A and B are shown apart, each in its own frame.
Chain A
Amino acid sequence: MATYPDPEHALTPSGNLRRRLVYNALFEGGAGFAAFLAVGVLLLVAISIAAHGLPVINLHFLTGSLPPPSGGVGGIGPALIGTLEMVAFVIAITLPLAVLIALFVTQFASPRVGNAVRMVVDVMNGLPTIVVGVFIFAVLIAATHGGFAGWKGIVALSIVILPLITRATIEAISRVPELLTEAADALGVARWRTVIGVILPTASPSILTATILAGARAAGETAPVLFTDSGFGQTTQLNPLHAMPNMPLEIYYLITTLNFQEAWGAAFVLLVLILATNLLARTFLRRAQRKRGL
């Protein structure tokens, strides 16, 4: 009944709680600072690229032919188109392979074989991209005395991207709840039907996100195309049998020819492209998931 505050039962921190509260505040602050630092660096990069690159962006810059190697005015149109085409090819090659590898590892392989394949994928993931570039140069250009070609760049990029998508796809498929796989199995449906009807649709949002991130990575990778797809002309080249202009190398050339303005502009376009596909993909996936009630 009594409503007076009893000092015996005070609710202010007592014992070592005061000390623990200090630690808590310290760790919270540290974590927040680290997060701020990461986002801050990203923002700094984005803002400086935008500040330098935005002024040169106009229709002519986006669609015009590349500047001559001697320097001078020009656009990035052919490089933009070339990179988009190469990324499309790379994804068309790596995504089906990655899904098949991931299905093999998670559904069909014995644990021992599965783990071995997993390890190989991880090792491939750590392969320096310049090594892949040199390897493809040695095999497809030096050994055959062939020239630079878009498809050789595509092969090199695919080798870089494949382990990335594969790893993410393995993770995505492993995260499909066993409840669902069991439910499908208990219906007396062949395993591959379960894979197509339940496992892949459930994992597809994560697989798609990984694919887009990998595509963005492919669009920006320089080393794999350096020795395989350089020496392109100034105009659009859609045929992968010839050297195809691409964004990373074009940015590289712009800087080596001291066209800094254009280099900033091209970097900005690449950044926007990657960010836009990312955001688009995320909203698209969100909507798809909501439609299925997830």
Chain B
Amino acid sequence: MTDDHGTIDELLAGHVLRSLTGADAAEADRLLTDHVPGCIECRTTLEGFRRLSGDMGLAAEPVTPPETLLPRLRRELDAEGARRRPMRVVAVAAGVAAVVGLAGLSLSQNIRANNADVRADSMAEAAVLASRPDARMVDVGPVQELSAPGEEILYVMGDGVPMPPEGSVYRAWIVSDETPTFVGEFLPDEGWVFLEIPFDPTVHDDLWISVEPADAPTDEPVSTERWSASAVA
């Protein structure tokens, strides 16, 4: 794990540029949930890099988009009509107090509040995904799974999600050929849940949510209180 700010700054720079892969990407995700929210120096650095990322976009030559683009957007906004925010994901996003980006198959991550960097990106991405006509929203026990064909990410969200019994946590698992791999664990924050989970549809075929004793091993679910996304597809 990284704890010197020179190395952290390198990871934050790569994160903002979206140029990290593998262990560096996982370490950046860990820092964004574990370290950055409580470190004013890192928050300042990250915000500076984010502003820079936006500014650098201006260096590209502006180009008038095709004339069809605005009418296409208008049609989609018209279709929404008075239902300004029809998708549940947006309702979640509006009130969400806690968001976590789970780093692949790495460590268990309890939900952390106020990770604004992850929250803004994830909410915007989830909103786009939810707007696709082929997006799929299914109940998985107390939460919902949002996914779409060809996307290598899915979202788990819910509001009014009950707390599990004392001493227990919710756990997320991605499944290949009925073999679950632990992704992370979470507790609702005032009933809100919003998770972003990498999911390769060419490898994974299901998402499970289970309620487990907090001290249970994570090599496989031990509880029978378990829900499958594919069971309701």
Do chains A and B interact in one complex?
A: no
